[in-house]
Amino acid sequence: MEFCDECGSMMKAEDDLWVCGSCGNKQPKDPDASFVVTEGQEETEIVDVSDAQDRGLPTTEVVCPNCENDRAHWYMQQIRSADESETRFFICTECEHRWREDDN
C-alpha cells in the first residue's frame, strides 16, 4: 500500500504505477517489491519468514496441526481493511508448517 506524496491519500495500483484517486498524482511502483493480489482485497507485501529463528521471530506454545509439536514462531500481519484486527501467523519450529490463528 502506498500513500500519495502530494495529498496523503491512499493510492491504487494501475499497471506499473501508483495512482492517487484524490489528486491524480502518479508514482512508479518499486520494481524490487513483492506483492500478492487476492480477489476482493488490496495488494499486500509478502512477509519473508524463511529462517524464522534467524530473523528473531518470537515463539509461543501452540500445537502444530501438522506434527503436533508444541512450539511455533509467530508474527502479526494486517491482511484485511484497517478497521479489522491483525491476523497472527504461526510457523512450526519442528516441521515449518505454516498456519494462521483463525484456521481450524
Q: Is position 23 annotated in a ligand binding site?
A: yes
Q: What are phi and psi of 32, to 5 degrees?
A: -90, -10
Q: Is position 9 annotated in a ligand binding site?
A: no
Q: Is position 20 annotated in a ligand binding site?
A: yes
CA distances from 78 to 26, 43, 54 (A): 25, 11, 23
Q: Is position 104 annotated in a ligand binding site?
A: no
State how far the Cα of 59 lies from the Cα of 53, in Å rounded to an integer. Answer: 9
Q: Is position 78 annotated in a ligand binding site?
A: no
Q: Is position 15 annotated in a ligand binding site?
A: no
Cβ distance 66 to 86 under 8 Å? no
Q: Is position 21 annotated in a ligand binding site?
A: no
Q: Is position 4 annotated in a ligand binding site?
A: yes
Cβ distance 2 to 18 under 8 Å? yes
User: Could you tell me which residues are annotated as the binding site?
Assistant: 4, 7, 20, 23, 64, 67, 92, 95
User: Could you tell me which residues are annotated as the binding site for Zn(2+)?
Assistant: 4, 7, 20, 23, 64, 67, 92, 95
